[in-house]
Amino acid sequence: MTLFRKPTSIKGTLLALLLPSGILLMAIAWLVHGFLLERMSRDFVESRLKDEVAFLEHQIRESDGNIRNLQTGDYFQEVFHHAFAIQSPTQTLVSPQSWAALLGPLLEPGQPGTVRVRNSKILNAPSDILAFRKSFLVNDKRLVVIVAEDMAALHDSQAELHAWTAIVSLLLIVLLVGVIWVAITLSMRPIGSLQAALKQLQTGEVTRINVRAPEEFRPLVQQLNQVLDSLDQRLERSRDALANLSHSVKTPIAAVRQVLEDTSRTLDDDLRQEMGSRLGNLDKQLEAEMRRSRFAGPQTGKSSRPVDQARDLLWMLGRLYPEKSFELSTELTEETHWPIEQHDLNEILGNLLDNAGKWSAHCVELSLEADQEKMTITVDDDGPGVAEESLSDLGKRGLRLDEQISGHGLGLAIVNDIVGRYGGNLVIRRNKNRGLAVTVELSAPQAHCTAH
């Protein structure tokens, strides 16, 4: 049984992630607001209590410690609005008198400067107060002054402010959800355009996807168009292959039918050999086209290790041509990956090395290189090479397989076909040893040619 079911849409996913996160952040902010509000209120009240204790101390010193003679004029009546208690060696003064039982114990020696009393059960006295106590000497007489404030009223104001903060937080969460929903809806509009373009593609109205997509969707559109290009290329190759086969097999089939239908001629050895030769050519044509049909071309996620594959092929050809030397020149590591389908790279390397092995005198050198712009495969041999006027015909596109130059043409035509599917170039030239140098250049962005 699945305990957690993933949301089925991008909107659901974003809301499932952002909404709880927003609620959690608002809750944390609300709790922090309550803590800071309580702390600021306490600091503010304590500062006022200290100021009023200082005011009482000044009044007492002005009256030489006689608390009965305190100057309680207009300023005292209008400004001093906290409860207070004053204790001298001869008397104790508490205002209002109903707080006497609450403030009396705080006059005892040993009490700290700031005192908080909670949950008091004294009749006609508040249950929660904050008080500030100070002891000082006047004319060698010790006096104690306490000023206190009822925190209940302040707490009521704080609770109201805190409640409004909670209401505003909830409204902000609702607004956040609305903004997220609108933002997601606007962001997902390109998907609707892409869907419409795909429908037009399906009905044949367009041949490629051409929509104005945001940056995040451009790789998707580009990849879809590349898939369409690849499908068109494969369809075109299939049609070309059928045309080539049709052209190539008509003549040998007609010749064989003519011989078989001619009852006046006997099948002598020469005629049998001729028929066998024609059927052999037909088999080669079919095999060549079957090999072409297996070429994959560029495929996303497909890669090969050129160094490993090159070493395996060189080892095999070294056994096939034991009198010749096959060398590998490269600075690539064994872990280097190229964005080429493995079978395609084997066909490229195998055909180039096999041609070079057939025609070389002593040595064949394979060079593998890669940089940020391209991948390069070069095969050099020390054979007789090809005449300068024939170089341009090697691997020429559009030239039928049975028209290729003997020895080199068929393999190079296959290589040229594969390289063309990857958008690369095939360069054939004579090297310094008068042999043949064949270079394959393929586009290789840095992101594609990596060592894992």
* Per-residue pLDDT tens digits for 154-184: 777 778 887 888 888 888 888 878 887 888 7
Question: Which CATH number is 368's domain given?
Answer: 3.30.565.10
Q: Give pLDDT, residue 5.
A: 55
Structural domain includes residue 180? no
Q: Are residues 251 and 281 in the same domain?
A: yes
Q: Are residues 67 and 113 in the same domain?
A: yes
Cα separation values, 179 from 27, 28, 165, 258, Å = 19, 21, 20, 81
Domain-terminating residue out of 127, 156, 185: 156
Domain assignment of residue 243, given as a range:
232-293
Question: Which CATH number is 93's domain given?
Answer: 3.30.450
Structural domain includes residue 215? no
Give yes or no for a contact between 316 and 366, defined as CB atoms under 8 angstroms apart: no
Give me 216's structure tokens: 């995040």
CA 33 to chain centre: 36
Q: Are residues 251 and 312 in the same domain?
A: no
Indicate whether this model's pTM tops 0.75. no
* Per-residue pLDDT tens digits for 391-409: 766 655 444 434 444 444 5
Structural domain includes residue 76? yes
Domain-terminating residue out of 293, 319, 339: 293
Q: Is 225 exposed, middle or buried (0-12, 13-18, 19+ CB in 10 A)?
A: middle
The structural domain count of the chain equals 3
* Per-residue pLDDT tens digits for 123-160: 878 888 888 988 888 888 888 888 988 887 777 777 88
* Per-residue pLDDT tens digits for 263-300: 776 767 777 777 777 777 777 666 666 655 555 555 55
Structural domain includes residue 276? yes
Give yes or no for a contact between 366 and 421, defined as CB atoms under 8 angstroms apart: no
SS3 of residue 253 by DSSP:
helix
Q: Are residues 273 and 396 in the same domain?
A: no
Q: Are residues 147 and 242 in the same domain?
A: no
191: amino acid identity, one letter: I
Number of H helices, E strands in the chain: 10, 12
Q: Using CA atoms, how far apart are residues 6 and 16, in angstroms rounded to an integer?
A: 10
Structural domain includes residue 424? yes
Q: Are residues 275 and 152 in the same domain?
A: no
Cα separation values, 254 from 23, 111, 257, Å = 82, 123, 5
Give me 89's structure tokens: 């060696």
Structural domain includes residue 162? no
Q: Are residues 149 and 25 in the same domain?
A: yes
Structural domain includes residue 369? yes
- Residue 448: pLDDT over 60: no
Give me 27's structure tokens: 């809750």
Q: Are residues 439 and 341 in the same domain?
A: yes
Give me 209's structure tokens: 């996807």
Cα separation values, 244 from 127, 160, 292, 324, Å = 104, 89, 12, 36
Domain-terminating residue out of 124, 156, 188: 156
Q: Are residues 391 and 352 in the same domain?
A: yes
Location of structure tokens 């956040």: 176
Residues in the chain: 452
